[in-house]
Structure 1
Amino acid sequence: MDVSSIDLHALELFFTSLLVIASLVIGWFSVYVVYKLFTGQR
């Protein structure tokens, strides 16, 4: 496989978008867990 044939900008954009999506999912889940913990105390 020839490394020069790979579009490095597209590859970087793909993995950056994966990182952003994973960060958003982790952040949403942590907020959801804290919300459930506080609403469960009532």
Structure 2
Amino acid sequence: MQLAIELFYLGLLGLASLAIAGVSVVVLANLFKGQR
């Protein structure tokens, strides 16, 4: 049971970092376009 909880939290952590990375890429792309 403990393993399932750890996997669940690892999945959440991965999803959160992916979401943060995606948002940063979009924001950086928008900033880059705005400068040109």
Please list every run of 5 or more consecutive structure 2 residues that lacks an aligned counterpart in the other structure: none
Please list every run of 5 or more consecutive structure 1 residues that lacks an aligned counterpart in the other structure: 1-6
- Relative to total residues, which structure has the larger helix share, 1 or 2? 2
1:1-42 matches, cutoff 5 A: 7-42=1-36
Q: Distance in 1 between matches of 2:34 and 2:9?
A: 37
Q: TM-score, normalised by structure 1?
A: 0.80
Two-structure CA RMSD over aligned residues (Å): 0.6
Aligned length: 36
Q: TM-score, normalised by structure 2?
A: 0.92
